[in-house]
Amino acid sequence: MLRLDPDGWLRPARHLPSANFNQRPAGTPVELVVIHNISLPPGRFGGGNVEALFTNTLDSTAHPAFADLEGLRVSAHLFIDRRGRLTQFVSLHDRAWHAGLSAWCGRENCNDFSIGIELEGTDTRPYTQRQYQRLARLIRLLWHHFPKLGADSIVGHCDIAPGRKSDPGPAFDWSRLHQLLEAS
């Protein structure tokens, strides 16, 4: 059973703390969940490169696609791999650096008021059933702990950074996620 401890860490989940975070602005509640996708190198799954990126240990010389990532300091709160395994990098009470230049409903800097969830994937390859199941369980837990969250506050990176970002992409089945959320 997934649970949230008082420090904002999920149990049980694998914890790989990232240095790429800071505090949310005082008095700013969590009001948004942003779904992303990531694979490193692009289109390849597994191998620990996503974890290395978020913990500043990625060898930028290990693959040509990593050259642009040299010195990049990014993170997400959570990562769900293809098997549905959950890794947490940043406390849910803190501000992860996942959204970049972003806006939602007229509010800029979505990192201030959101939780970022990365799915191991690409815009064009279907996500796994295990990922959808884990994501739905996770969102239900977030709804329980963060009262300003609801079905209308789950968005893609593409929704808060249109024209700049496309993830989670056309391969993400929003209706499937919503069916799983309604099922329980």
Flag whether pLDDT at 122 surpasses 80.
Answer: yes
**pLDDT > 70: percent of the chain:** 99
Task: Note the Cα 116 to chain centre separation in Å.
Answer: 3
Q: 62 lies in a domain?
A: no
DSSP-derived secondary structure letter, 5:
-
Report the CATH number that the domain containing residue 30 is assigned in CATH: 3.40.80.10
Among residues 51, 70, 108, 118, the one annotated as catalytic is 118
* Distance, CA of 66 to CA of 170 (rounded, Å): 24
Q: 44 lies in a domain?
A: no
Partners of 115 in beta bridges:
33
- Which range of residues forms the domain containing residue 15? 3-38+75-182
Q: 67 lies in a domain?
A: no
pLDDT band at 129 (very low <50, low <70, confident <90, very high): very high
Q: What integer pLDDT is reported at residue 81 of this predicted model?
A: 98
For the chain, what is the mean pLDDT?
97
Looking at residues 78-93, what average pLDDT do you find? 98
Looking at residues 94-103, what average pLDDT do you find? 98
Q: Which residue, 91, 58, 93, 92, is CA-closest to 73?
A: 58
Task: Note the Cα 69 to chain centre separation in Å.
Answer: 18
Q: What's the first-to-final CA gap in the chain, in angstroms?
A: 14
Q: 56 lies in a domain?
A: no
pLDDT band at 70 (very low <50, low <70, confident <90, very high): very high
The packing angle between helices 174-182 and 129-145, to 10°, is 60
pLDDT band at 184 (very low <50, low <70, confident <90, very high): low
Q: 158 lies in a domain?
A: yes
Residue 170: CB partners within 8 Å, gap ≥ 6?
Answer: 123, 124
Radius of gyration for the alpha carbons in the chain, expressed in angstroms and rounded: 15
**pLDDT > 90: percent of the chain:** 98
Q: What integer pLDDT is reported at residue 15 of this predicted model?
A: 98
Q: 23 lies in a domain?
A: yes
Q: What integer pLDDT is reported at residue 84 of this predicted model?
A: 98
3-class state of residue 145 by DSSP: helix
User: Burial letters for 15-37: b for 16+ Cβ neighbours within 10 Å, e otherwise?
Assistant: ebebebbeebeeeeebbbbbbbb
Q: 13 lies in a domain?
A: yes
Specify whether 118 is catalytic.
yes
pLDDT tens-digit readout, 10-69: 999 999 999 999 999 999 999 999 999 999 999 999 999 999 999 999 999 999 999 999
Residue reference for tokens 């401890």:
5
Strand pairing category for 103-104 and 14-15: unpaired
Token pair for 63: 């693959």
Number of structural domains (the chain) is 1
Q: 110 lies in a domain?
A: yes
